[in-house]
Structure 1
């Protein structure tokens, strides 16, 4: 059976909900298809101690401030899940759960969205599929030879599973710093390796300042002015309280990246070696764009060319929440609202 609507939003996490909010305000008929069976997007799959970079008031979707979490300046992931569930319910957003989108095809004046629960025909599609389902693992020599445990950020939960083990955390960003601090506070035998010396942002900088920096950079580039450097000019790691405490206690002592893995551990370029029980790869993500493969939009670097959120070669498709290339800080709670609003307005105009 094929159903029909004006807009299909693929993904019911923060980006999909922000898009739904603005489409609803504009009176655009739409449906939000989400593969998850419960609300909360990727936030329901994070590690136990994860916290936001910003206070609640600077971590909100459009139209609804995130409530303060009692006893915490920076809310935890469970609080975000509750907020997203409430947001979805408060605005009566038309989310259909447990629906996995397989592919999007051109179908004359429509886009056909194939799912494991039947097809949809829509006049426009918003891809809010995020990145969490596409963890990236670098091609480090010996990775297949290592006999210990290897896991990515998405699989880490708590230090409890590493008691008595020797663990290496790989990565110089926020996830690596938070997980390394989590392990360090638990007195796990930790080695933290990075490709360059970690750059901490000033202790008083949080996510709001990062959003402002990303927005200023995008504005400068759009106006033909010099690149401000954006967030990268400030540093790589937000010193949230657990990271700050571990750093100040001397528990975070990064070493250079190793050159290869061996069967028993790792080896550096100077032949120094260490035995290791587990490697946690905090090495980032790639956009989850598989549903759009049949549209043949990806360039040589694997990215879809966009003008704002709109796909240049398929104006009926908007991509939202994948990173700065789909809007400044659009992969964050506070940052996704503005590009979601612009996408909804452009789609309204397209339909008219």
Structure 2
């Protein structure tokens, strides 16, 4: 019988394991991949964090280097690998959890390949970004061009000379569309306008302001409405590029048919590719048989503690407790909270 099993060895799982260790426990981390770096290695090559290094570290180990820089994807991957080694807990890689069953004395964790692990407590830390979300867009099933999610996008060169529509209005959508505009004719299409916030108001990064004002830690539902959408952080580059039409921004198209797109003003044109920067959903399918999820696959929880199964906790869900819950800077705070209360 293992004391605590942590599902997932990315940023959320590592933060959860740290919290268990600090509390005097001995966690076992089960990671599906071959390294404890989560989904970071699979993101597009040019990805850069929107938070400075000083606000992008997990508990106990600084990111290193210039604290005011905005680390790139590969720096995050290297940091997480270093953190996993520094942490000094048991991490079992190549262990994909398929199903968890609740029993009288705890939980049975079923791993692909037939292994079974019994645990008194389980922390589901596969985060809120396990499953790329593809919304029901008008005519998407009839579109004859290329369709990829942002999770599959890597570099702009394959799109050179093509007509591309990037769907979304968040940070990743804007960054991908801006990058692609150097190689292709690109439109950023979304239901709502892009909401920009200055990256460094009054000379300070916005994360400093969120930290000192308490916005970053504001409880969801009490101070901060869950409908609050994370803005696009911009030093001026993205706003200027969209104003110049590289990329241009349009309301959501009304139809797709073959290789044609119909815009809200009635205009039609040929499009080669769609890139869906439409977000993610939690990858928690291994909890479905327990009844720990709602009909849409979201965790039934309150502040990261399961409302259906005592001894089951969550770390890394969007809006779990605050604006920063699913981020490098926020998972440690939520992990401490969950570990302190889990099983009480």
Q: Which whole-Å CA distance do the structure 2 matches of 1:245 and 1:15 have between them?
A: 35
Are the aligned partners of 1:8 and 1:126 in contact in 2 as well (CA < 8 Å)?
A: yes
Give yes or no for the alignment of 1:90 onto 2:92: no
Are the aligned partners of 2:28 and 2:90 in contact in 1 as well (CA < 8 Å)?
A: yes
Q: Cα distance, 1:109 vs. partner?
A: 1.1
> What do the CA deviations read for 1:94-151 (whole angstroms, capped 9, x no partner)?
1111110000001221200000140110000000112333111111221111111000
Are the aligned partners of 2:3 and 2:27 in contact in 1 as well (CA < 8 Å)?
A: yes
Structure 2: unaligned runs, 5 residues or longer: none
Give yes or no for the alignment of 1:121 onto 2:121: no
Q: Which whole-Å CA distance do the structure 2 matches of 1:241 and 1:51 have between them?
A: 16
The aligned residue for residue 153 of structure 2 is 156
Residue pairs, 1:63-78, within 5 angstroms: 63-68=60-65, 73-78=69-74
TM-score by length of 2: 0.91
Are the aligned partners of 2:157 and 2:183 in contact in 1 as well (CA < 8 Å)?
A: no
Q: Cα distance, 1:266 vs. partner?
A: 0.9
TM-score by length of 1: 0.89
Q: Cα distance, 1:274 vs. partner?
A: 1.5
Are the aligned partners of 1:214 and 1:231 in contact in 2 as well (CA < 8 Å)?
A: no
Are the aligned partners of 1:9 and 1:125 in contact in 2 as well (CA < 8 Å)?
A: yes
The aligned residue for residue 49 of structure 2 is 52
Q: Cα distance, 1:287 vs. partner?
A: 1.1
**Residue 328 and residue 306 in structure 1: after superposition, are their counterparts in 2 closer, same or farther (change >3 A)?**
farther
The structure carrying a bigger helix percent of its residues is 1
The Cα RMSD (Å) is: 2.2
Give yes or no for the alignment of 1:172 onto 2:169: yes
The aligned residue for residue 192 of structure 2 is 196
Q: Cα distance, 1:236 vs. partner?
A: 2.0
1:112 aligned to which of 100, 108, 112: 108
Are the aligned partners of 2:188 and 2:250 in contact in 1 as well (CA < 8 Å)?
A: yes
Give yes or no for the alignment of 1:17 onto 2:14: yes
**Residue 173 and residue 190 in structure 1: after superposition, are their counterparts in 2 closer, same or farther (change >3 A)?**
same
Q: Cα distance, 1:161 vs. partner?
A: 1.2
Q: Which whole-Å CA distance do the structure 2 matches of 1:128 and 1:240 have between them?
A: 33
Are the aligned partners of 1:53 and 1:240 in contact in 2 as well (CA < 8 Å)?
A: no
**Residue 62 and residue 286 in structure 1: after superposition, are their counterparts in 2 closer, same or farther (change >3 A)?**
same
Number of aligned pairs?
337
**Residue 240 and residue 113 in structure 1: after superposition, are their counterparts in 2 closer, same or farther (change >3 A)?**
farther
The aligned residue for residue 213 of structure 1 is 215
Are the aligned partners of 1:56 and 1:66 in contact in 2 as well (CA < 8 Å)?
A: yes
> Is the partner of 2:298 in helix, strand or coil?
coil
Q: Which whole-Å CA distance do the structure 2 matches of 1:95 and 1:188 have between them?
A: 43
Q: Which whole-Å CA distance do the structure 1 matches of 2:21 and 2:235 have between them?
A: 35
Q: Which whole-Å CA distance do the structure 2 matches of 1:69 and 1:40 have between them?
A: 21
1:80 aligned to which of 70, 76, 80: 76
The aligned residue for residue 318 of structure 2 is 323
Q: Which whole-Å CA distance do the structure 1 matches of 2:129 and 2:235 have between them?
A: 22
Q: Cα distance, 1:294 vs. partner?
A: 1.3
